[in-house]
Structure 1
Amino acid sequence: MPPDPTDYRILAHLQAHGRASARAVAEIVNLSPRATLARIRALEKHGHLRGYHAVLDRALLGAHVAVFAEVALKDQRPEAVRLFERHAAACPEVLACHLVSGRFDYLLRFCCRDLAHY
């Protein structure tokens, strides 16, 4: 069942405030806490809401430099692509790895202590 406008408001609030209680979300969407919790559980069950995440302050954690890198692969065979993606996923400094089209194949987002660390 696709989400309705109230579900989208619930999702938007939880995206910004993942630790919000059902009662707090209920106040935002003008439903009872029980009805809101039922909707949240349905959104989770149907895969619309797949998890809750912490947003880290990387600067306070010592990672002050954000870097974007364009990567062009010389070898486009599936084995080479899988190997590259495994290495990117294993690198803790890589925050995101996007497959793109154009002059390069991937756009990676790194977060590092400094440029030397990058």
Structure 2
Amino acid sequence: MKLDEIDYRILRALQSNGRIQNNDLADIVGLSPSPCLRRVRLLEEEKIIENYVALVNASKVGLDLTVFARVWLTGQDAATVDHFIAAVRRLPQIVECHLMAGDCDFLLRVVAKDLASYRKFQVEDLTRIKGVQSVKTDIPMQSIKLTSALPI
């Protein structure tokens, strides 16, 4: 699907407010409601819009700590990597997981109540995943920018 400027306007508006009513969205992007809704549905069908979510303030729900964990596996074979990925998908504390090129094998963003809770998670869950060789944790001092909006 080739996107045009109206599609990009729709995407920018929905990134800003995923709950916007179709009539309001149509006004913003310069379409009547029916064609606007058709375009949104097409963007959803093509998986350009993958999902709609609520962005929850982590600290207001008791998750005051975010850490970045660099993980090294015992091997790069498909079985080891696939096992690790499957295990990560079952751990809700891990909110991002990236397969890396470079020094470590995976980079994880993990949320926890506090440092003690993270340490418990690391010892009881993360390092017990078969194939995990080592974990190094980086603790950010301050979040400067956190967004899910893409620069489109």
The TM-score normalised by the length of structure 1 is: 0.94
- Work out the number of aligned pairs and report it: 118
Which residue of structure 1 aligns with residue 101 of structure 2?
101
For 1:18 and 1:33, the matched residues in 2 are separated by: 16
1:83 maps to a residue whose letter is H
TM norm structure 2: 0.74
**1:60 counterpart SS class:** helix
- What is the deviation of 1:2? 1.3
Instruction: Provide the C-alpha distance between the structure 2 equivalents of 1:8 and 1:92, rounded to a whole number of angstroms.
Output: 32
Q: How far apart, CA to CA, are the structure 2 residues paired with 1:8 and 1:100? A: 30
Task: Indicate the structure whose relative CO is greater, using CA pairs within 8 Å and at least 6 residues apart.
Answer: 2
Matches within 5 A, 1:1-118: 1-118=1-118
How far off its partner does 1:66 sit? 0.6
Structure 2 letter corresponding to 1:56: V
Query: What is the CA distance between 1:91 and its match in structure 2?
Result: 0.9
**What runs of 5+ residues in structure 2 fail to find an aligned partner?**
119-152
- Deviation of residue 51 (structure 1)? 1.6
Q: Give the 4+ runs in structure 1 shifted more than 6 A.
A: none
- Residue type of the alignment partner of 2:14: L
Q: Alpha carbon RMSD of aligned pairs, Å?
A: 1.1
Counterpart of 2:70 in structure 1: which amino acid?
A: E
- Structure 1, unpaired ranges of 5+: none
Matched with 2:135 is none
Post-superposition shift, 1:46?
2.0
